[in-house]
Chain A
Amino acid sequence: MNRREFMQFSALTTLTSAGLFPTLSLADTVNNKRRIVVLVELEGGNDGLNTLVPYTDPIYQDKKIRRNLTLSKSQVIDVGSNMGMHSSLKPLKGLWDKDQLAWVQNVGFAQPDGSHFRSRDIWETAGTFNHIPDEGWLAQVLPQRSYGVDGIVVGQGLGPMSGKRCRSVVMQDPKTFVQQAESLDDLDLECSNPSLQHIVDVQKQLHGAKDVLERSARMRHIDRYFPVRRTFNNDLRSVAKMIVGGADASVYKVSLGGFDTHASQAVPHKNLLHYLAQGLDSFSKAMISSHMWDNVVVMTYSEFGRRIKQNLSGGTDHGIAAPMLVMGGKVKGGVLYGHNPDLKNHDNWNVRHEFDIRSVYGTITENWWGYENPWANQGKIDFV
């Protein structure tokens, strides 16, 4: 029996073990033990070298290269292997120590061209320089369903969850969402006008999502884990409420903007990483206390890293590869996957990519969800 046959077989008999095939198994939806991915997009291209820092590398410390930006030993949290996390990430140190946080280094894709838009398209669709599929990568791996909601974006744009096969919604927060969706009627219609069909489809999904989110809108006990009022924290709080409230989505997405630091980068970047860490810290605490931490993988991504060499505006221009942060109760953490960034053998002052983004997506798809991995030829990284 090959893999595919096995999956079909298990669908018929619900023979699945411990939630390996979540949406196919009845037990899963009942016990509320879904396997969830939370994507955190760092918009603009995060400076990976000042996030997971090769602080002992003489090229990194060379003042001619990163004059205003190099971080010294006291400005990083050592994580071994001559690498350190930016000190702003301190709230996450506990998770690293507990082996629940990992870094996948040098992730990128072939033929990068430095465009925000093209790069974002590639990240969202698992595409390549020459081919951008017309649906997001999640639509390509999640099994098709006719009920509930597969993906929820708190913020703007469906991004990786776009595509007809994915039942996904965008919202500001679940409470407002449910209030507003109350008045919608259930419209079911096939039409030849694609613009009209799009509206009808969105309305249909809203109607479906409303029912599964009604409970999440209440979950007020989650508020205490999010003492800081900032859009990013509020968005993560919404995600936490939906997860704890039993929404059946497999994937959530939030984003933090401002990483396109072409000028005077040091202070704003430090602040951004602080916001990121604070939000993720709150989120992990909410998950741990709700016994959902083992069911969640949080993963950051950004359209590209930044140049090894700073520009003279005190910022950095668009780069290539960068590290991704992965955390969760079942993440094989306390590990740096891949080699340290090679600053010597650079590509026009860019860090070359070691892992293709599709190997990260493939790992999530196969190891975490147990679905068929369309990118198996790219290899896996086994961080989960």
Chain B
Amino acid sequence: MTRKLDLNASRHLVSRTGFGVEWTSVNQLVGNTPEQAINKLLRKVSYRTPGAGYFTPWNVQQNLMESSNSDHKKRMHTMMSRENHRLKEWWVGHMMNTPSPILEKMTLFWHSHFTSSLNKVEQPSLLHQQNLLLRKHALGNFGNMLKDIAKNPAMSIYLDGHLNEKHAPNENFARELLELFTVGRGHYSNHDIREVSRAFTGWGVNRYQQRHQFNHKDHDEKPKKVLGKTVQSGDEVLRVLLGSRHTANTIAKKFWSFFISDGAPDVRYTSVWATKFYQSNYDIKILLREVLTSKPFWDEKYRGTLTKSPADLVIGTLRTLPFKRMPKKEMVNIFRLLGQDLFDPPNVSGWKGGHYWIDSQTLLVRKELLSGWSGANLNTKVNRGDQYRNLSVEEYEKWLLPDKAVRELPALTGGKPRLIRSLTLDPMYQLT
């Protein structure tokens, strides 16, 4: 597609690759070709994150956990819940302020793919470490990310990999590795799962030093047969899995659901993306470019067919409109109520997304949130997004909604806040 981006197309690209439709970001891309715009988005990506604060070392935590003194236990619980919450606030805060929303969006994508939870891991520093790993590879190489994640302490604890030993195989990690992380359902047998779990025996964790630890005596040395190939080590298993085109397909289909539409992936496109991804040796940027320059991405029939995630809704709205900022602590609670409790996914398959974001419970919370924000006075101290003074009703609609409003919009004579309230409370605002 060589056509230059207009306001509509530009807001589409910005909202699908970042959070919300900040006026300046949208306008910067108007007049560019899609390729130029995508280059701009991927050019100066900032990988810097703010410090996440202090995490209690494992030995201190463990002493308190194992103490028979109930006061110690209570103290441990208070401490843990404080640190868990702080980690969530850290990420929400960074999503709000980052100059590179595309990187956070991709990190969030991978957090739902290679997911782990504070609830199970019980050591927030390890989830922070995992988050940094996901961000490091978010726009890098999927193969490298997979190799790192297989040795990631939070992941090993989350899927009981650290308990997987020669005389006591534990299949949890092996199963999810095949079913969710790589080749996907239908492309492996239960026998493969058992063989894969044997290959990863001995892959342990040192919680004190927050690192992977290979325990030789727990490792099953005998050969294993995985997807028809004979292997010995876990590393070799990962090579076999990356050697399967089904792995590229799994990711390509997930990109459809993340970037194009809630509906079922159109395999005519995802199979082409998967091939390119596979041929590039799993270069995520190549896959992303392929998706963002594809016909369905720009096809108007897919505008407004993606349900906003809680991050899109909360962070996106606050980055776009001059509503009163809320404390990070409160934002974290809102994320939870909306069904996207960061670092605490519902289960190992992450968040289902799409239509699943909206049920009767979460729709009520969404409405209440937007009603509260748009009903209050606009915060004039916040500069962000306040440069849209001279737009017409139609321009506001084009900027803030992916498609025509469902309900009738008030005229501008009723005041700008009233129009913006109508726009944000319109059902179309829940979509992108």
Contact with A170, one of B171, B175, B347, B359 (Cβ below 8 angstroms): B359
- In the complex, per-residue mask of A239-283: 1 if CB is within 8 Å of any chain B CB, else 0: 000000000000000000000001100000000000000000000
Q: Which of A11-19, A49-57, A203-211, A324-332 contacts B (4 or more CB under 8 A)?
A: A203-211
B15 to chain A, nearest CB (A): 14
B186 to chain A, nearest CB (A): 10
CB <8 Å contact, A203 and B363: yes
Given the complex, which residues of B lie within 8 Å of A181, measured CB to CB? 364
CA distance A157 to B427 in the complex (A): 20
B222 to chain A, nearest CB (A): 17
Q: Chain A at the B interface: mostly helix, strand, loop or mixed?
A: mixed
Is A175 in contact with chain B by the CB < 8 A criterion? no
Q: Which of B68-76, B94-102, B280-288, B304-312 contacts A (4 or more CB under 8 A)?
A: B304-312
Is A184 in contact with chain B by the CB < 8 A criterion? yes
CB <8 Å contact, A116 and B262: no
CB <8 Å contact, A115 and B185: yes
- Interface positions, chain B 266-289, Cβ under 8 Å from A, are none
Given the complex, which residues of A lie within 8 Å of B1, measured CB to CB? none
Given the complex, which residues of A lie within 8 Å of B367, measured CB to CB? 180, 183-184
CB <8 Å contact, B160 and A262: yes
Given the complex, which residues of B lie within 8 Å of A115, measured CB to CB? 175, 179, 185
CA distance A39 to B354 in the complex (A): 26
Is B431 in contact with chain A by the CB < 8 A criterion? yes
A200 to chain B, nearest CB (A): 6
B285 to chain A, nearest CB (A): 28
CB <8 Å contact, A171 and B360: yes
CB <8 Å contact, B175 and A194: no
Contact with B163, one of A196, A209, A263 (Cβ below 8 angstroms): A263
Identify the 7 closest CB pairs spanning chains A and B, nearest first.
A312-B168, A169-B360, A180-B364, A313-B163, A170-B359, A170-B361, A199-B427
CB <8 Å contact, A202 and B185: no
Is B243 in contact with chain A by the CB < 8 A criterion? no
- Interface positions, chain B 331-360, Cβ under 8 Å from A, are 339, 346-349, 354-356, 358-360
- Nearest-neighbor residue (CB-CB) of B189 within chain A: A113
Is A6 in contact with chain B by the CB < 8 A criterion? no
- If A114-B175, A157-B359 touch, whether A195 touches B306 (CB-CB below 8 Å) is yes
Contact with A116, one of B163, B348, B361, B365 (Cβ below 8 angstroms): B348
Which A residues are within 8 Å of any B CB, using their own CB? 113-118, 156-158, 168-172, 177, 180-181, 183-184, 187, 189, 191, 193-196, 198-200, 202-203, 205-206, 209, 262-263, 311-313, 315, 317-318
Q: How many A-B residue pairs have CB under 8 A?
A: 119
CA distance A317 to B163 in the complex (A): 12
Other than A158-B359, A180-B368, A195-B261, give 15 A-B pairs with Cβ distance below 8 A.
A114-B190, A116-B348, A117-B179, A156-B346, A169-B360, A183-B371, A193-B305, A195-B262, A195-B306, A196-B403, A196-B406, A196-B427, A205-B360, A209-B360, A312-B168
CB <8 Å contact, A202 and B360: yes
Given the complex, which residues of A lie within 8 Å of B348, measured CB to CB? 116
B25 to chain A, nearest CB (A): 24
- Of the candidates B304, B358, B362, B371, the one having the most CB atoms from chain A within 10 angstroms of its own CB is B358
CB <8 Å contact, A200 and B359: no
Is B231 in contact with chain A by the CB < 8 A criterion? no
Q: Which bracket fits the contact residues of B? A: 35 or more
- Interface positions, chain B 191-219, Cβ under 8 Å from A, are 193
Given the complex, which residues of A lie within 8 Å of B305, measured CB to CB? 193-195
Given the complex, which residues of A lie within 8 Å of B169, measured CB to CB? 311
- If A183-B371, A199-B427, A200-B427 touch, whether A172 touches B361 (CB-CB below 8 Å) is yes
Given the complex, which residues of A lie within 8 Å of B430, measured CB to CB? 199
- Interface positions, chain B 117-173, Cβ under 8 Å from A, are 160, 163, 165, 167-172
CB <8 Å contact, A156 and B165: no
CA distance A183 to B365 in the complex (A): 12
- If A117-B349, A312-B165 touch, whether A180 touches B170 (CB-CB below 8 Å) is no
- If A187-B406, A195-B305, A203-B427 touch, whether A317 touches B170 (CB-CB below 8 Å) is yes
CB <8 Å contact, B160 and A196: no
Q: Can you list 11 A-B contacts (CB < 8 A)? A: A115-B175, A117-B347, A170-B359, A171-B361, A177-B364, A183-B368, A195-B431, A203-B427, A206-B360, A311-B170, A317-B170
